[in-house]
Amino acid sequence: MIELSKLISSVEGSATLAITALVKKLKAEGKDVLSFSAGEPDFPTPTFIKEAAIQAINDNFTKYTANAGTPDLIAAIIAKFKNDNKLDYTPDQILVSSGAKQSIYNVLMAICNPGDEVIYQSPYWVSYPEMVKLVQGKSVIIDAGPESGYKITPAQLKAAITPKSKVFIFNSPSNPTGATYTPEEIKALCAVLVETDIMTISDEIYEKIIFDGGEHYSPAQYPGLKDKIVVINGLSKAYSMTGWRVGYAAGPKHIIDLAANLQSHSTSNACSISQKSSISSFDGSNN
């Protein structure tokens, strides 16, 4: 038998997807199981979004789109950033992909060289360490246990930074802990980051799932940091569209360009129908 890729053989399959499959199997066998695996809203995709998809099919919007996303969806994403996060982006700073998972992978691939250190906290989303392996980077993990509310401190971040640090992955609200940093806590971490050349990937996929009146703050809002941040978000969690596969990255053009090149040779555009319905998700209408 030929020897297969050492790199891909070193990567674990997604534990979340494996547990989700197991839960489905046990439920099919009639067992009463509660799933704490995939982060998935427990309500169906709203009707107006489904209707927009049906309309897109009937309008024959079923061909390849621009690699980086349709201009109308990119415009809707830019408007979302402006309205929700007070952030200004130009169309060439946005890349739409097949889920935020692909967005993060594209961006890590665009930034990292073998041996680069990627800092993130534990507990973490299961795909971070495996993606770091895929880009041949080195994970530098900061422990954040229950005693700190599953949050890291600026001092811990500072101590984790070395001359080899390339990327900091930040995820608030967090999967799996649900820990949500306050704007003040995020600003304190930003004050460390702004003094470095490290790129931050801010995974904000759970932005809309904040309870107790908490406020979402993107590190890209911190003065002087926007050029060192790629914000990741998507439709999966906010609009219960996990199966539709639409995510997006917003950041410096030179990084987005490289990530888009990679995507152009791997998956091309995100699903045309899902892109059309995503526009109606953002503006809450059936257009």
Contact residues: ligand PLP, CB under 6 A: 38-39, 99-101, 125, 171, 175, 203, 205, 234, 236, 242, 247
Shortest Å distance, C-beta 40 to ligand PLP: 8
Closest to 231 (Cα-Cα) out of 205, 262, 259: 205
**Residue 232 φ/ψ, nearest 5 degrees:** -115, 135
Shortest Å distance, C-beta 176 to ligand PLP: 8
- Single-letter amino acid, residue 150: Y
Between 38 and 191, name the residue whose CB sits nearer to ligand PLP. Answer: 38
DSSP string, 258-271: HHHHHHHHHT-SPP
Between 39 and 252, name the residue whose CB sits nearer to ligand PLP. Answer: 39
Sign, Cα dihedral of 34, 35, 39, 44: negative
Shortest Å distance, C-beta 214 to ligand PLP: 17
Shortest Å distance, C-beta 246 to ligand PLP: 7
**Cα→Cα distances 197→185, 217, 227, 239, Å:** 20, 21, 10, 34
Between 206 and 222, name the residue whose CB sits nearer to ligand PLP. Answer: 206
Shortest Å distance, C-beta 20 to ligand PLP: 10
Q: How many CA atoms lie within 13 A of 86 on its CB side?
A: 7
CB 243 within 8 A of CB 38: no
Closest to 142 (Cα-Cα) out of 107, 116, 168, 166: 168
Between 176 and 191, name the residue whose CB sits nearer to ligand PLP. Answer: 176
Between 69 and 234, name the residue whose CB sits nearer to ligand PLP. Answer: 234
Which residue is nearest to ligand PLP, using beta carbons?
A: 99
Shortest Å distance, C-beta 166 to ligand PLP: 19
Shortest Å distance, C-beta 242 to ligand PLP: 5
Between 134 and 191, name the residue whose CB sits nearer to ligand PLP. Answer: 134
Within 8 A by CB and 6+ apart from 24, the residues are: none
Between 20 and 196, name the residue whose CB sits nearer to ligand PLP. Answer: 20
229-234: strand order across its sheet = 94-97, 247-250, 229-234, 199-203, 165-171, 117-122, 138-143
Residue with tokens 């439709």: 235
